[in-house]
Structures are given as C-alpha cells and as structure tokens.
C-alpha cells in the first residue's frame, strides 16, 4: 500500500512541477501585481505530495514492510526503532527523497518570506527552483525509485550497514542536505535577481539570510560527520582528507567566501558579478558533491557500492544547470552596474577580497586533490591516491598570512583606512604571540617547518579577537565566529603536535609500557544484545598521575554479519584518551590502539562557537 501511495504522490509532484515551470515563466510577462493564487495552491499540492511520499517511506521502514525493495535492502526487524527511522535516509534512494523534501519545503518558505520583493524576481526564482525539483524527481523516479515492489515478499530484510547505526550519523545526512539544498535557493535567487536586474543592497540583505542558514547547516553537518569518523572509524583523527570529506568541504569554502562578499554587497553595493559567480559555483559544488559520492567514482575508503548509471544522470543534469547558469550570466551581465564610488587599497573591501582569495585558494587545492586522481584514471588508467601530506603542505604555509589578515581585517573601515592608524598594541600582541610560540616549540622540541610563525599567528588572532570583544567595530556574530576560528586553529595545531599514539597486539592479561604509562588488558566480557554480540575489553592505563579504565567494544552484528569496533574515549578539557581494539583472528590476539590527544574537545567546541556566531548573525536586527 505505502509503496503505491509514495510512488503516485511522486508522479503527481512531477506533473505539478511541469505546470509550475511553465506557469511561473508565463506569468513573469504578465504585469499584475500579485502572485497568481493558482501557483500557491499547486506548489502546496506539490510539497504535500512529496511529504506524503516521504512519510510513506518512513512508515514502510517503521513497520518493516519488506515488499518495498529499499526497506528490504536496508532494514531488519531486530533493529531499534530509532535506526529504522534513520535508515530511511541512510541509503541512496531515501536520501534523495529527503533532498527533494527539503528542496520543495525551502521553496515554499522562500515564497512566503519574499513578499516585499518584486513579483518577477519571485516568479523567476520559482521557475529555476522548479527546474531543479523536476530534475530530481526524474532522477528519483527513473534511476533510484525508493518504492519498487518485491514479490514474493521476503520474510526478513538484509539490514543496515552497522557502522551507520549511530546517532551522529543518523543526523548527519539530513543536516548536511539542508545546507546543500539551501545553496540551491541561493543559486536560483541569484539567477533570478540577475535577470531582473535587482542585484542590489535590498536583495543582498534578503539572500544573506539564506546564505547564513545554509552555512550554519553545512558547518554542523560537516562537524557531525567528523565527530562520527573520530569515534566510530577508530582512526582517532577528525579529518582524513578523504575524497568524500573533501567533497563536503568544497561548498563550505565557497559559501564562506559568499558569506563575506554578501556583506560587501549589502553595505557598499559592489562586487555584484562576483557574488553571482560565487552563488553559481557554490551550488555546482554541492551538486557535484552528491554526484561524486553517489556515483561511486571516488576512490575512497568511505564509498559504498553504487550504480554508475545514476552518476551519469546527475552529471548530465549538473552540466545542464551549469551551462544554463553560464548562458544566463553572459546574457544578463549588462544588468549589473557596480556603484562607482572609489574604494581605496586599505579598506574593509580589500580585506574581504583577501578572504575570498584565500577561500578560493583552499578550494582549488582541495578540488584538484580530489579530482586529479579521477582525471588521471580516465586519461591513462593509472590509479593513484593523494594523501594528507599534499593538503598539509599546500594549506599550512598559507594559513600564516591568512591568520594575519583575519586578525587585522575586521577592524578596517569601509572605503578608506590608514596604515599609520594601527595602534601600538597590535605589534606588541604580535611580538608576545611569537615569543610564546617560540618558547613553546623549543621547550617541546617541535621541529616542524613554519611551526613558530604558525603558532605565533594562531595566538595573535586569538589575542586580537579577544581584544575585539571590548573595542572592536564589527558585529558580535563576526567576533564570536572569528574567535571560534582562532580557537579552532590553535587546538588543531596543539593536537597535531602533541598527540601520542601506541599500537600493539595483545592477549588478555598482557601488559605494555608506553612513554610513562602502563597499558594493561585486564579482562574480556562477552554479552548478547538485541541485534549484536558484544565483546567488551577492560583496559587499565596507569601513570604517576593516576588510573584510567577504558572499555572499548567490538560488536558482531548479525544482520548483515559485520564487525564494528566502538572506541572508548575519556574526554576532559585538557585531553582525550582514546582506546580501540580489534579482532584479528581466533588466536587470542587483539589489535590495540591507544591515543592521547590533547585539546581534542576544543576542536568541536570551537566549531560550535563558529556556528553560534552564524546563528547570531541570522537573528541580528537591522
């Protein structure tokens, strides 16, 4: 039943989408003042239909309706209810339906919230957005339909990949998707504004809300994925420069650049073409993210077995949208007139441009690092991978000037400022920071390249952002976000330099010495849970300061039969103690990995500060 309901609702939504594309485009030529009420009702029907189809899929997952192929492939009766529900979007088909749901929902909110803007602009945004919705509907219905019937009906499902059965990962896709889909509104709205010729201050303050919303969700989404990788994959790091991770980072760089330029457009009515180009790029990157992850092209540890025909569809659709955007951009570019007020070299505008330059640089590094292996494989068939050293070597040295500009930039004035106005305190802060970092690196024997200026400028930004809370000229949201970023950089640097790791193969009762610590494998407990068997290791780590008891777990899931290891992490505000173990084979040996990670929790806390800055920016009154 649910299958048919879901399927037909999608077809109705498809018809509604065709109607909306033509109707909204036709109405842009019409001069009446109000939006046609027909448009609103059809749009409501469409949103309702997509919602119904999503709910029927969730329902099929909850009642374990195995006549549905998606449910059969991704669920199991013994799974806890929470993971039955999150299983809805833990797979390809369901996650696309979620994309679509957010897409229609956002469009609805957009139309309600833009009542004071020109009618033609709203209608055109609707047209572009409906083109995207139409493409996704086609894609879902014909290449990845979540409502395929199975007959005869299987008795039991094959289960959800156990490493996806995790609270952080249950929330990660919806939140990341809200961020991705938000960029589609920015894309449609920019094109519409370009065609209507209203790329101006009013438009900027309206679209800024959407940029902030997408940016907040993208930031949270990336963080959740990273936290999950930290404790679930057992690698003990938070970022691996894996292609699937990079793909979510690329739109983030672009969106962050956009977040800065839109302020310039709002305040100074300039950088118009650049804003439009950034909007188009951000959305293209979000789309190609979905394409790269879903097509299975990426040579990544994260990739799940996939169907290449889907990739081809998304690729064609993506090229169509980019092509459309570029054509519209060149035809209507004459509509843009930048204000002719002169801007001087030393000004906030320049500082924003500098930010954009760095964002584009980081973006190019990540983009080339991700795409180059794919290109090379297509060209000469050789398979390569590009590891963390590539990214570190290219990004770290550039962080030094980046941090410097980030510390100084926010306090510059619009239009024109003077160097000689720089107060004495800035060089003093810089000197103190470099001194601290010099003392630190020599006393800890850190001998990495650039470590003194890196730490030094990290501290410099930290001090200056704290000072700005008392005397700065910019908004509170900016101060909090930049302060969060300085904290983020410092925790990453300390964490990277001071982290210690030890791994060994141990039997129950074994003892190992590591640094000044003694690691003891005391006991192993076996218990039976609802859908898995659990092996809990009891470890004791002692040094002259005290004792730690860590209980990592190995889970042997029955459906599908898979091993996962759950790390045990003891977090304090100073450091994380991380222990994970693994079965090798039935000879009594367990592969044990212990990590001591200083300031780990501050990495997450600083990211939270960064997006709290974004949330404040959203609610800020004009």
Partner 1 sequence: MYGKKVKLRALFILLIFLSVVLTSFLIFKSLEENVVYFKSPTEVKNLAELENKKIRVGGMVKKNSIKTNDLEISFIITDFQNELIVSFKGSVPNLFEEGKGVVAEGFLEDRNYLKATKILAKHDENYMPPEVEEALKENN
Residue ranges that bind partner 1, judged by CB under 8 A: 161, 163, 233-235, 299, 301-305, 357, 361, 364-365, 368-369, 372, 382-387, 389-390, 393-394, 503-506, 510, 560-565, 580, 582, 584-585, 587, 589, 591-593
- Please report, for residues 248, 335, 509, 520, 522, the alpha-carbon distance to residue 517 in angstroms, rounded to integers and kept in the order given: 38, 68, 16, 10, 15
**DSSP H/E element including 455:** helix 451-471
- 52, β-bridge pairs: none
Least distance (Å) from partner 1 to the CB of residue 270?
13
Least distance (Å) from partner 1 to the CB of residue 386?
6
Least distance (Å) from partner 1 to the CB of residue 457?
20
First to last CA, the chain: 51
Least distance (Å) from partner 1 to the CB of residue 541?
16
Instruction: State the Cα angle at 421 between 417 and 427, rounded to 5°.
Output: 120
Q: Residue 124: which of 15, 27, 211, 45 has the closest Cα?
A: 27
Q: Residue 63: which of 2, 125, 21 has the closest Cα?
A: 2
Between 372 and 574, whose beta carbon lies closer to partner 1? 372
Q: Residue 227: which of 219, 237, 218 has the closest Cα?
A: 237
The burial class, CB within 10 Å (0-12 / 13-18 / 19+), for 512 is middle
Asked if residue 152 has a cis previous peptide bond (ω within 30° of 0), the answer is yes
Between 167 and 387, whose beta carbon lies closer to partner 1? 387
Between 157 and 182, whose beta carbon lies closer to partner 1? 157
Least distance (Å) from partner 1 to the CB of residue 8?
32
- Please report, for residues 95, 135, 247, 309, 375, the alpha-carbon distance to residue 378 in angstroms, rounded to integers and kept in the order given: 28, 27, 19, 17, 5
Q: Decide: 70 and 91 in contact? Cβ < 8 Å.
A: yes
Between 111 and 366, whose beta carbon lies closer to partner 1? 366
- 580, β-bridge pairs: 593
**119-143 and 92-113 helices cross at what angle (nearest 10)?**
170
Between 16 and 354, whose beta carbon lies closer to partner 1? 354
**DSSP H/E element including 504:** strand 500-506
Q: Is 556 helix (H, G, I), strand (E, B) or coil?
A: strand
Least distance (Å) from partner 1 to the CB of residue 119?
36
- Please give the Cα distance from 322 to 329 (Å, whole number): 10
Between 65 and 566, whose beta carbon lies closer to partner 1? 566
Between 544 and 586, whose beta carbon lies closer to partner 1? 586
Q: Decide: 572 and 558 in contact? Cβ < 8 Å.
A: no
Least distance (Å) from partner 1 to the CB of residue 295?
14
3-state secondary structure 205-260: HHHHHHHHHHHHHHHHHHHHHHHHHHHHCCCCCCCCCCHHHHHHHHHHHHHHHHHH
Q: Residue 354: which of 402, 399, 397 has the closest Cα?
A: 402
Between 3 and 300, whose beta carbon lies closer to partner 1? 300
Least distance (Å) from partner 1 to the CB of residue 401?
12
Between 78 and 503, whose beta carbon lies closer to partner 1? 503
Least distance (Å) from partner 1 to the CB of residue 212?
28
Between 8 and 514, whose beta carbon lies closer to partner 1? 514
Residues 6+ positions from 380 with CB-CB distance below 8 Å: none
Between 393 and 421, whose beta carbon lies closer to partner 1? 393
Instruction: Give the single-character DSSP code of 162.
Output: G
Least distance (Å) from partner 1 to the CB of residue 314?
20
Least distance (Å) from partner 1 to the CB of residue 473?
26
Least distance (Å) from partner 1 to the CB of residue 239?
16
3-state secondary structure 17-76: HHHHHHHHHHHCCCCCCCCCHHHHHHHHHHHHHHHHHHHHHHHHHHCCCCCEHHHHHHCC
**DSSP H/E element including 495:** helix 476-498
- Please report, for residues 186, 351, 407, the alpha-carbon distance to residue 356 in angstroms, rounded to integers and kept in the order given: 18, 9, 15
- Please give the Cα distance from 17 to 19 (Å, whole number): 5
Between 345 and 573, whose beta carbon lies closer to partner 1? 345
Least distance (Å) from partner 1 to the CB of residue 383?
4
Between 154 and 427, whose beta carbon lies closer to partner 1? 154
């Amino acid at each position: 039943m649910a299958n048919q309901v879901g399927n037909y609702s999608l077809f109705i939504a498809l018809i509604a989408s065709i109607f909306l594309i033509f109707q909204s485009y036709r109405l842009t030529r019409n001069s009446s003042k109000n939006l046609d009420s027909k448009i609103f009702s059809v749009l409501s029907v469409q949103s309702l239909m997509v919602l119904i189809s999503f709910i029927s899929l969730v329902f099929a997952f909850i009642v374990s309706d195995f006549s549905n192929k998606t449910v059969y492939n991704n669920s199991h009766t013994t799974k806890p209810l929470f993971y039955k529900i999150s299983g809805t979007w833990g797979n390809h088909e369901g996650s696309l339906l979620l994309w679509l749901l957010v897409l229609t929902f956002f469009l609805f909110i957009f139309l309600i919230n833009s009542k004071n803007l020109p009618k033609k602009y709203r209608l055109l945004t609707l047209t572009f957005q409906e083109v995207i919705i139409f493409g996704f509907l086609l894609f879902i219905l014909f290449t990845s339909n979540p409502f395929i019937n199975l007959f005869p009906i299987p008795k039991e499902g094959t289960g959800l990949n156990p490493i996806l059965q995790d609270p952080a990962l249950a929330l990660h896709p919806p939140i990341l998707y809200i961020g991705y889909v938000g960029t589609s509104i920015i894309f449609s709205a920019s094109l519409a504004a370009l065609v209507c010729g209203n790329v101006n201050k009013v438009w900027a303050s309206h679209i800024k809300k959407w940029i902030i919303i997408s940016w907040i969700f993208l930031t949270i989404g990336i963080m959740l994925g990273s936290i999950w990788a930290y404790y679930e994959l057992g690698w003990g790091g938070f970022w691996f420069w894996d292609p699937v991770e990079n793909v979510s980072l690329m739109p983030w760089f672009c969106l962050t650049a956009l977040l800065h330029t839109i302020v310039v457009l709002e305040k100074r009515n300039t950088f118009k073409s650049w804003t439009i180009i950034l909007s188009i790029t951000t959305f293209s990157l979000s789309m190609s993210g979905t394409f790269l992850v879903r097509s299975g092209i990426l040579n990544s540890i994260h990739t799940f077995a996939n169907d290449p025909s889907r990739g081809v569809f998304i690729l064609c659709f993506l090229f169509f949208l980019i092509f459309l955007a570029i054509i519209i951009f060149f035809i209507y570019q004459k509509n843009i007139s930048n204000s002719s007020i002169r801007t001087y070299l030393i000004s906030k505008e320049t500082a924003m441009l500098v930010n954009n330059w760095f964002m584009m640089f980081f973006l190019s590094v990540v983009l080339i690092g991700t795409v180059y292996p794919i290109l090379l494989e297509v060209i000469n068939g050789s398979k390569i991978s590009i590891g963390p050293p590539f990214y570190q070597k290219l990004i770290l040295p550039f962080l030094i000037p980046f941090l410097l500009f980030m510390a100084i930039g926010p306090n510059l004035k619009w239009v024109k400022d003077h160097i000689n106005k720089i107060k004495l305190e800035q060089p003093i802060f810089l000197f103190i920071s470099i001194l601290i970092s010099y003392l630190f690196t020599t006393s800890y024997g850190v001998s990495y390249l650039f470590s003194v200026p890196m730490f030094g400028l990290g501290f410099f930004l930290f001090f200056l952002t704290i000072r700005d809370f008392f005397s700065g000229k910019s908004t509170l949201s900016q101060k909090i976000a930049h302060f969060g970023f300085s904290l983020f950089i410092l925790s990453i640097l300390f964490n990277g330099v001071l982290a210690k790791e030890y791994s060994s193969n141990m039997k129950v009762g074994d003892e190992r010495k590591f640094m000044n610590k003694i690691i003891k494998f005391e006991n192993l407990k076996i218990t039976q849970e609802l859908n898995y068997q659990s092996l809990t290791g009891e470890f004791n780590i002692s040094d002259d300061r005290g004792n730690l008891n860590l209980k990592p777990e190995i889970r042997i899931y029955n459906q599908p039969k898979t091993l996962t290891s759950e790390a045990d992490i003891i977090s304090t505000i100073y450091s994380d103690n991380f222990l994970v173990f693994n079965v090798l084979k039935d000879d009594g040996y367990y592969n044990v990995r212990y990590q001591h990670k200083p300031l780990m929790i501050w990495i997450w806390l600083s990211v939270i500060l960064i997006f709290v800055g974004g949330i404040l920016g959203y609610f800020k009154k004009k």
